[in-house]
Homo-oligomer: A and B are copies of this chain.
Amino acid sequence: MRLLLISNSGKPLYWWCKKEIADFAGDKEVTFISAATIYDPNEYYQKAQESLKEVGVKLNHLNLKSPQDLINKTQVFLVAGGNTYHLLKKLKTNGMLDKIKRKVLDGAAYIGISAGANIAGPNILTTNDWNVVGSTYFNGLNLVPFNINPHYNAPQDKVLTSAETRDERIGEYHVFKSNPVVVMEEQTYLTLDDNKVKVGGRGKLKVFTKGRKSKEFKSRENLDFILMK
Q: CB within 8 Å of B: which residues of A?
A: 9-10, 38-39, 81, 83, 114, 123, 125-134, 136, 138, 150-151, 153, 156-157, 159-164, 169, 172-173, 175-177, 186
Contact = CB atoms under 8 A, between A and B. Distances in A.
Nearest to A150: B163
Contacts of A138: 131, 134
Given A38-B175, A83-B172, A161 B130 contact: no
- Interface residues of chain A: helix, strand, loop or mixed (majority): loop
B125 A134 contact: yes
B156 A151 contact: no
Given A83-B172, A175-B38, A163 B114 contact: yes
Given A38-B175, A130-B125, A161 B153 contact: yes
A9 B163 contact: yes
A51 to B, nearest CB: 17
